[in-house]
Amino acid sequence: MKRVIVGITGASGTILGVRALEILKGIEGVESHLVMSPSAVRTLGLETEYSYSDVTALADVTHNFRDIGSSVASGSFRNEGMIVAPCSVKTLSAVAHCNSGDLLSRAADVCLKERRRLVLMFRETPLHAGHIALMDQATRNGAIVMPTVIGLYYKPKTVDDIINHLVGRALDLMGIDSGSLVRRWGEDDTPDEYDEGESRDD
């Protein structure tokens, strides 16, 4: 059984964490562990039609945000790693500075010290120098900072297409196959070559 921790913070984009739980629920052999901040519960109500109980029902196990004695707070709890979706500036700062005052940041820090994957779906723009410094330090600590930058090569038609692709790519980083959710470069009807002299950056 693969265990994946999903952290949901109060940044805009709580649907990212919800979608991660929905996808993981449909994958056999994966057990999801949810840690959701009080601010995330408030943002969830502002941005979506989901309730807190709807979200906890998607997780195999839900842990109290303030319970730093929970299983995910220990390095002996075996898991594949953690996705923080979305990741707020506050949580990014906690990861960068090893500040583990709540279960979400503690579980993230444990993933780093145990050399497990920690994917931070950072949700902030525009950025000032402090944000960039935090991303740099979190990366130096071993985290993977994945800003929720929209891909366009797969020609998304709906917001759901964008959400699915972002979360699918985050799960890729965890070694979890989300099936057909991710439209991959060079597959299906995405372009796989360029005209002579054309650069992808042009």
Binding site: residue ranges? 10-12, 37, 88-91, 123, 153, 169
Separation of alpha carbons 90 and 37, rounded Å: 11
- What is the widest separation between alpha-carbon atoms in the chain? 59
180 DSSP assignment: G
Per-residue tokens: 187:
């597959």
> By the 8 A CB rule, do 144 and 118 touch?
yes
DSSP alpha helix (H) spans, the chain: 14-25, 38-47, 52-58, 89-96, 103-113, 129-141, 159-173
Backbone angles phi, psi at 172, to 5 degrees: -55, -45
Mark the binding-site residues for dimethylallyl phosphate, compressed into ranges: 153, 169
Residue with tokens 């950025």: 127
160 DSSP assignment: H
Mark the binding-site residues for FMN, compressed into ranges: 10-12, 37, 88-91, 123
Separation of alpha carbons 130 and 179, rounded Å: 37
